[in-house]
A and B are shown apart, each in its own frame.
Chain A
Amino acid sequence: MAVEKTSVNPPHLLWQGGTQPLKAGYGKLMMWIFLLSDVFTFSGFLVTYGMIRFGYPTFSEVVAGMTHKTFEFSQLYWPIPEKVFKAVPLLHGVDAPLVFVGIMTFILIFSSVTMVLAVEAGHRRDKADVEKWMLWTILGGFIFLSSQAWEWSHFIHGTEHGLTLEDGTTIFGAKLGINEYGPPNFANLFFFITGFHGFHVFIGVLLNIMVFYNAANNVYEKRGHYEMVEKVGLYWHFVDLVWVFVFTFFYLV
């Protein structure tokens, strides 16, 4: 009853071995192509963000004479990010602009280094080192995700005094419909873009756990190479790369 497996491709179209195309493994090449498509997605977000932001007048155009020092939140113009993101856990009421997001950036850069060290250990087929550095990377991913959860929660709840509108009502925090820090679009874009990045981090942590599990169970040892660490590493570094851009265009500019 055994059915002989045959290929639908004629033999002369089959790759007969030898040096791989572009001297890279198929999986690694495809991971790069996938990341390239992800670049398109995030570039789309960046363009959307820039165009909507440019669509609003600047605060000095709305209120004559207002500077960065005398800046106040209004729904008429885009906020200054460092006036929005200035809270740090356990330091209630302390004015620390961009400090927490700086810590998050540091965590992600650090987990990127531990990931590249795991890749390097994989090249040496050093199972113990791969496991060690993968664990550090997973830990960094979890800390980053928790930090982002805290930041979102703080952003949603808002400040104690809120923003008093012209009709006398006071609104608190940033939600999809109302936003005490500026136009609702500011909050919407923030949630959408950092959320999409956070989702990437979440998937990355799952992949990292999978790599750790397989490495610990000798899957790569039996396979004879640790290329999977390299492929997942590419994804993880891309996530770090996206954060570098989010950090610049959402928090600094």
Chain B
Amino acid sequence: MAEHSSIERQKPNTKHLWKVFWILLVLTALEFVVAFTIDADHYKWTKIGIFVFMTIVKAYYIVGIFMHLGSETKSFIWTIVLPIIFVLWLIVALLVEGEYFGIEKFF
């Protein structure tokens, strides 16, 4: 098994990975700050908007850097991202339509 130990141990290059870790951590901490400082009685939808935006930013970093989607070929990226864009559209459409019925219609 000497052939493996003779290979020089490459040095890890992990700076950019730790950077993403700190970004995710700070964003989560900011979410807590927003959750407990903004008055939810008056600014409910502002709050929800901030949360959704931060979630999408976190998703971008996890998918782009941790899952290395950013370094794949262009056609690979679109194979994954395009269906997700349509799914996001579906979610928004169904949630907006969902406001038009009340639960009492079920029971």
Chain A contacts with B in 87-140, Cβ cutoff 8 A: 97-98, 102, 105-106, 109-110, 112-113, 115-117, 119-121, 124-127, 129
**CB <8 Å contact, B87 and A126:** no
Q: Which of B4-25 contact A (CB under 8 A)?
A: 4, 7, 9-10, 12-14, 17-18, 20-21, 24-25
Q: Kindly report which residue of chain A lies nearest to residue B104, judged by CB atoms.
A: A55
Flag whether A40 is at the interface (Cβ < 8 A).
yes
Q: Is the CB of B67 within 8 A of A238?
A: yes
Kindly specify which of A43-51, A151-159, A170-178, A197-205 makes contact with the partner chain: A43-51
Interface bin, chain B: 35 or more
Q: Is there an interface contact between B95 and A253, defined as CB atoms closer than 8 Å?
A: no
Closest A residue, CB atoms, query B75: A22
CB within 8 Å of B: which A202-236 residues: 221, 230, 233-234
In the complex, the answer to whether A68 meets B41 with C-beta atoms within 8 Å is yes
B80 → chain A, closest Cβ, in Å? 6
What 0/1 readout, one digit per residue, does chain A (18-53) give for beta carbons within 8 Å of chain B?
A: 000011100001001000100110010011001110
A196 interface contact, C-beta 8 A: no
Residue of B whose beta carbon sits closest to that of A221: B4
Contact B58–A47 (Cβ < 8 Å): no
- The yes or no answer to B55 lying at the interface (CB within 8 A) is yes
Q: A113-B21, A244-B59 are in contact. Are A120 and B14 (CB under 8 A)?
A: yes
Tell me what chain B mostly uses at the interface: helix, strand, loop, or mixed. Answer: helix
Rounded to whole angstroms, the CA-CA distance of A60 and B34 in the bound complex is 21
Query: Bound state CA distance, A199 and B99, in angstroms?
Result: 31
- A117: chain B residues within 8 A (beta carbon): 12, 14, 17
Q: Contact between B87 and A50 (Cβ–Cβ < 8 Å)?
A: no
Those of B72-99 within 8 Å (CB) of chain A: 72-73, 75-76, 79-80, 83-84, 87, 90-91, 94-95, 98-99
Say yes or no: A113 contacts B72, CB within 8 Å. no
Inter-chain contact B103/A52, CB cutoff 8 Å:
yes
- What residues of A have a CB within 8 angstroms of the CB of B40 in the complex? 68, 80
30 contacts between A and B (CB under 8 A): A23-B73, A32-B80, A36-B84, A39-B84, A39-B87, A43-B91, A50-B91, A51-B94, A51-B98, A55-B101, A55-B106, A97-B36, A105-B28, A106-B28, A109-B24, A109-B28, A110-B21, A112-B62, A113-B17, A113-B66, A120-B12, A120-B14, A124-B9, A126-B10, A183-B103, A185-B103, A240-B62, A240-B66, A253-B48, A253-B51
